[in-house]
Structure 1
Amino acid sequence: MPTPPPLTRAHVRLLGLAQAAPTPPPDAESALSAVVVEPHARRALIRQLYLTGRAQWGVTFGERIGETLHVHHAAPHGPRWAEPPPQPYAYDTRYLLGYVDALVAEHGGRIDWQGVWRVAPDSRSPDLREVLAWVGAAAGQGLCDDRSPLLTAGWLEGSLSVRAYHLQDDEPLELPVLVLR
């Protein structure tokens, strides 16, 4: 009988299996120094920018290569038809478990839950005060730390603006972001 694949960070979090946390790969122990938003994630974030009227947020999936996080997917927190809208960082566990299972199958287990993303209700690029509040709220729920950044997306002068923040020594730190087309 083949050995089952190891649990992903996403499965551990969504199933509440903190005691069975997977061993991170060696390069995940070093601090992040940059974020690359891959084309599929870029398109997903742009789709969210057209859903104005309420704040949007979700989960990023990707992989660490050295000190760089490559974000391959930006998933919504749950089905778009959820009413009433959930509070920020409240997610639909069943929806995300299905999403994770599909991504693990598609990518052979290479990618995992890497952080969260957020978009303002009016889709504009948020100011620093808002971002710091978002980082604090995400960190308070264990969703943003030194290895798991918060990405923000918004329109800035008609162009997509994506910024990434993580915590270093419990202080929010902006990371350089490269958005690929």
Structure 2
Amino acid sequence: MKRAQQRFLGLPSPRQSHSNDEALPIGSLGLLDSAYLELMQQVNVLGRWQGGTLFGEVVAGHFTVQLVTPLGPPSGAAHPLFPHMPYLLGWSDCVARGYGEAVDWYGNWLAAPDGRLPDERADLSWLALGASQGLFDEQHALLMLGMHEGQLSGRAYCWQEGQRMNVTCTFGLMASGL
């Protein structure tokens, strides 16, 4: 069962046997070129906090972001962190069919209203809020984004046992190296 289905239907996560590589916390994050380009466009939408979801695959603690989606339909995304669940369910189903079962919703992204990378204290406020709502843990990341000198930059975090965990990010076209 995909993460969005578990969350929307209120079901507990199924017990799955994972290899040691699959159970590792996310320690690094890289963007495929298409995800990088989509995020650059989204960060350039100024005037309000922007947010969305990150779909990809986690292997040996490395999260490869393959697809970036909005939080919901234009009239349905009221909060920049919390996805419109029916919309997310639709994306999740499409992603599973198009990319395979290994690709799932493993994170969220946020960008400040001015398009610049927010202060790290703001990052941590968003991270704590999302963690309190079950969005972030050691297997699900928050990616904070901004533009700097025409390039996308950012910081990523996971949440483990009430503490932030910094995640190494790779930005730029072809930077994911995958």
If the TM-score is normalised by the length of the shorter chain, which range does it land in? Answer: 0.7 to 0.9
CA contact (8 A) 1:154 1:160 kept: yes
Contact 2:159-2:165 within 8 A present in 1 as well: yes
Say if 2:77 is the partner of 1:77. Answer: no
Matched residues, percent identical? 33
2:54 is aligned with what amino acid?
T
CA shift for structure 1 position 151: 0.4
Alpha carbons of structure 1 residues 124 and 103: separation in structure 2 relative to 1, 3 Å = same
Report the AA paired with residue 14 of structure 2.
Answer: A
Which stretches in structure 1 are left out of the alignment for 5+ residues? 1-6
2:80 to 74, 83, 88: 88
Counterpart AA for 2:55: F
Residue 4 of structure 1 corresponds to none
Aligned residues: 172
What RMSD over aligned residues (CA atoms) do the two structures have, in Å?
Answer: 1.8
Q: CA 1:172–1:155 in 2, change beyond 3 Å: closer, same or farther?
A: same
* 1:180 CA drift (Å): 4.8
One-letter amino acid of the counterpart of residue 54, structure 1: R
1:148 aligns with 2:140: yes
The whole-number CA distance in structure 2 between the counterparts of 1:88 and 1:66 is 29
Deviation at 1:53, TM superposition (A): 0.8
Q: 1:25 — aligned with what?
A: 18
Correspondence for 2:176: none
1:77-111 Cα distance to aligned partner (Å, 9 max, x none) = 101x216x512323212211111111111112220
Runs of 4+ in 1 over 3 A off after TM superposition: none
Letter in 2 for 1:60: L
Find the aligned partners of 1:122 and 1:22 in 2 and give their Cα distance: 42
Match of 1:131 in 2: 123
Q: Is the 8 A contact 2:42 2:50 kept in 1?
A: yes
**Counterpart contact for 2:71–2:80, Cα < 8 Å:** no
Distance in 2, matches of 1:156 and 1:174, equals 20
| Shift of residue 113, structure 1, vs aligned partner | 1.0
**TM norm structure 2:** 0.88
The residue aligned with 1:43 is 37
Q: Unpaired runs of 5+ in structure 2?
A: 174-178
Task: Write out per-residue CA displacement over residues 19-48 of structure 1, whole angstroms, 9 at most, x where no aligned residue.
Answer: x53626323322222111111221221121
More off after superposition, 22-31 vs 8-17? 22-31
**1:9 matched to 2:3:** yes
**2:100 paired residue number:** 108
In the alignment, what sits opposite 1:165? 157
State the one-letter code of the partner of 1:37. L
